[in-house]
Amino acid sequence: MIKVMTNFLHYIYFPWVNYSRSGRNVQKLSAYLWKLSCEILKARIETRKVLGEETDGQPTCYSDVLIQNAKDYKLSWEETGKFATDFLVAGFDTSAVTISYIILMLAMYPEHQEAVYQEQVDILGEDPKVAPTWEQLSNMVYLTRVVKEVMRLYCPPGIVRHVRNDLDL
């Protein structure tokens, strides 16, 4: 998937690439992602029916938002599926890149790694199997600062642009 995303613009600007092995792989991956997105949405719709869930302005997950918007704005199944696929693809790459940089920066700066670790122990205790609650997460001030600083230094979205001349901002 990373290889496909890296060369994504080739498939837009050079349509003949679609006839190559790489292009066929992209088409297979696209079909798989579409199928996966539709399965996720269908499963959520079924779950809501079984549990009798209605969000009433309080969606519990992104799928609920998509389903509600599809109803409110009379979106077709294809449009709703495309939104879900966009979310899947965008979330995959940006999350992986951000987490990788966080781990790298903490490894490069052990004093910050120790501070993050100590904060976790203070809030969650010594048991590594304890999952934090939302309230506990909101108390992780140092971790939040580290994440925000890494995202400031290494912005997740890839910007596909080559500047040939100086640019005044």
Q: How many helices (H) and strands (E) does the chain have?
A: 8, 0
Our CA dihedral for 51, 88, 133, 53, rounded to 10 degrees, sits at: -10
Shared domain for 42 and 124, answered yes or no, is no
Shared domain for 3 and 84, answered yes or no, is yes
Task: Report if residue 102 sits inside a domain.
Answer: no
Q: Of 59, 88, 117, which residue is a domain's last?
A: 88
Mean pLDDT of the chain: 83
User: pLDDT tens digits, residue range 12-54?
Assistant: 667 777 778 877 887 888 888 889 889 999 998 888 888 776 6
Low-confidence ranges of the chain (pLDDT < 70): 1-13, 53-58, 157-163, 169
pLDDT attached to residue 92:
74
Task: Report if residue 162 sits inside a domain.
Answer: no
Shared domain for 47 and 79, answered yes or no, is yes
pLDDT attached to residue 93:
72
Domain count, the chain: 2
Task: Supply the range of the domain harboring residue 14.
Answer: 1-88
Task: Report if residue 101 sits inside a domain.
Answer: no
